[in-house]
Structure 1
Amino acid sequence: MDKNFLAQEIIRLKKEKNAVILAHYYQDDAIQYVADFIGDSLELAKKAQNTNAAIIVFAGVYFMAETAKILNPDKKVIVPDWEAGCSLADGCSPEDFKAFKEKYPDHVVVTYINCSAEIKAMSDLVCTSANAKRVIGSIPADQKIIFAPDQNLGNYLQKETKRDFVLWKGSCVVHEAFSLDKLIEIYTKNPTAKIAAHPESESHILKVAHYIGSTSGIINFIKTDPAAVFIVATEAGILHELSKAVPEKTLIPAPSTEDNSCACSECAFMKMNTLEKLYWCLKNESPEILIQEDLRTKALKPIEKMLALS
């Protein structure tokens, strides 16, 4: 179907059904264009918490839509593609995490929002990359911590906060795909550039970064820093909004180890969502996210603690 027709129909259906489209920065440009709100995990969780819409269309990955449903039990939450998952969430099964947690009974459990509802339900606190330091800072200094499922973010936080962590060994395939050699090669050609990296990246990428922060943090850094050239080490979808905000600046995606079509790092899960899938999702109000109430209430507690701290 024609993209212009699809976009017009999506906008019409939103009004007709009292629906809101929440899209992550990593979505395709066409989806970002029709979205009511574009943000990172924390911003989208806040928006989901406060929306008055009857239907939430979540253009992101599954755990994000689950979070929206946990926060909005009386609203219909739908997704363009049921299979749009996350390597972090998929790599931390409830059965394995339960066994892992039982080894450290005196530890507080902090989980990165990139995990399933079942993992959140086993947590004391949830965090995003934007508020992780604040969440860790809310825990008594002598309290030991389990951090899951991202070991790269955990390692970064451990160094930043000087806290005693036990880390679940999970990682994001997108943020582990950056090539240090290729990055240094680009930087050598652009010596005035500043490198901005997401803390899900591996430590050798973080060591050469001028700024480390969440997706929204990276955007704010690039908007406000006087440098003219930036090398951006996070999913390439961020460049759509950024290029509109700072058209006078040069934005270079950090290169991936793989030789792919964009020579950058893309999330295959995020890119499973398309404008056509978004249209059918809104038209048919399906696939719908459903969560059992006992699981939802357990998962809600650590999310609400996080939002209160944010």
Structure 2
Amino acid sequence: MPRLDTAVHDVATDVIAAPEGDAPYGGVVADEAWAAEVRRLATERDAVLLAHNYQLPEIQEIADHTGDSLALSRIAAASEASTIVFCGVHFMAETAKILAPEKTVLIPDARAGCSLADSITGEQLRSWKAEHPGAVVVSYVNTTAEVKAETDICCTSSNAVDVVASIPADREVLFCPDQFLGAHVKRVTGRDNLHIWAGECHVHAGINGPELAERAAADPGADLFIHPECGCATSALYLAGEGAVEADRVKILSTGDMLTAARATEAESVLVATEVGMLHQLRKAAPDIDFRAVNDRASCRYMKMITPAALLRSLREGADEVHVDPVTAERGRASVQRMIEIGKPGGGE
């Protein structure tokens, strides 16, 4: 654990500031004393600490495992620890609970939601299914447990094309909730009977085409790592098609695949279109490469609600525990398992 602050203090005296409104928990410095106390409490609780790639760097550094949401949930299910502390957003902790129902699952701040997961409810999906009887429902893992329970097969951004391609060509497909990932799948598969829900992640949707074109023109030798949830994914392919960017430099990648590509690229610089927390892991994976955000304002406030104070509070108090109705969990687990059987299950968002 690298030193994050020069001052070492007594964590036992820290007063965790109660949040006002939707403000995150504060009042704690992520220094060596904090790190030592977090590790002590994790051992005391028999807890494994998981951190999503979009978390604050100090949260990523203290975690036992860092990665995308599905890979972390699978690690959680396989772990011998009795408690999972999921530093991410709420649907991710729910997925961990679905895959490991016998374990205690904590999220350091239950208010850490997700605009994409919130863009479709179980009731809305049931109504949509009623309009298309016989259709196969494919849901991105970035959905609530209730939506997973109404889903036939889940998918990740790295295997969404494979999941849809596995469905007989004459079956209608309802794809939810991300419209940009859905458009990517439809473009690759050429499938006309794929219906797409109009949901989006507000952070990824805000990374736009003109911004990408401007950054790419300023650094023509850079690779472009584009998450398929981004509003600029189509623009990236257009730039390649028009010759403005070399086609082999445009890579549409999940967060997990970005790390693999970072280790393999021969470019000196990479423009990254996803939430800015991903830069920390990319720079660790390939420290000699200049990784820069296409939009340096692309920060998810929900992800950043998992603060050092929130993590300390969670371990001290056993807060906030995540529960999923057993029937909902069983149905959701089936949709996730079907996805895993198709292949490439480790790459999450």
TM-score norm. by structure 2 comes to: 0.84
Give me the whole-angstrom Cα distance separating, in 2, the residues matched to 1:57 and 1:135: 30
Q: Deviations over 1:217-275 (max 9, x none)?
A: 112112201111100000110111111121111111012xxxxxxx3311111111101
Describe how 1:190-201 pairs up with structure 2 within 5 A.
190-201=219-230
Q: Deviations over 1:24-54 (max 9, x none)?
A: 1000001001111111123123212211110
Q: CA deviation at 1:308?
A: 2.5
Q: 5+ unaligned residues in a row in structure 2: which ranges?
A: 1-27, 241-249, 344-349
Match of 1:307 in 2: 340
Match of 2:57 in 1: 29
Alpha-carbon contact 1:232-1:251 (below 8 Å) kept:
yes
Distance 1:25-1:191 versus aligned 2 partners, 3 A rule: same
Letter matched to residue 170 of structure 1: G
Q: CA deviation at 1:187?
A: 1.8
> Does 1:212 find its partner at 2:252?
yes
Match of 1:10 in 2: 38
Match of 1:58 in 2: 86
Match of 1:43 in 2: 71
> Does 1:85 find its partner at 2:125?
no
> Does 1:125 find its partner at 2:153?
yes
Identity %: 39
> Does 1:169 find its partner at 2:198?
yes
Alpha-carbon contact 1:55-1:77 (below 8 Å) kept:
yes
Work out which of the residue numbers 221, 236, 239 in structure 1 matches 2:279. 239
Q: CA deviation at 1:118?
A: 0.7
Match of 1:292 in 2: 325
Letter matched to residue 306 of structure 1: M
Q: 5+ unaligned residues in a row in structure 1: which ranges?
A: 256-262
> Does 1:278 find its partner at 2:311?
yes
Describe how 1:59-74 pairs up with structure 2 within 5 A.
59-74=87-102
Give me the whole-angstrom Cα distance separating, in 2, the residues matched to 1:282 and 1:307: 31
Distance 1:206-1:42 versus aligned 2 partners, 3 A rule: farther
Q: CA deviation at 1:142?
A: 2.2
> Does 1:104 find its partner at 2:136?
no
Give me the whole-angstrom Cα distance separating, in 2, the residues matched to 1:214 and 1:34: 23
Give me the whole-angstrom Cα distance separating, in 1, the residues matched to 2:221 and 2:339: 37
Q: Of the two, which has the highest radius of gyration?
A: 2
TM-score norm. by structure 1 comes to: 0.94
Aligned residues: 303
Q: Deviations over 1:67-108 (max 9, x none)?
A: 000111110000011111111111112222211111001210
Q: Deviations over 1:140-190 (max 9, x none)?
A: 222210000011100100111122211111011111111332322222221
RMSD: 1.4
Alpha-carbon contact 1:42-1:130 (below 8 Å) kept:
no
Q: CA deviation at 1:297?
A: 0.8
Does the residue aligned with 2:202 lie in a helix, a strand or coil?
coil
Q: CA deviation at 1:11?
A: 0.9
Match of 2:217 in 1: 188
> Does 1:224 find its partner at 2:251?
no
Give me the whole-angstrom Cα distance separating, in 2, the residues matched to 1:42 and 1:222: 20
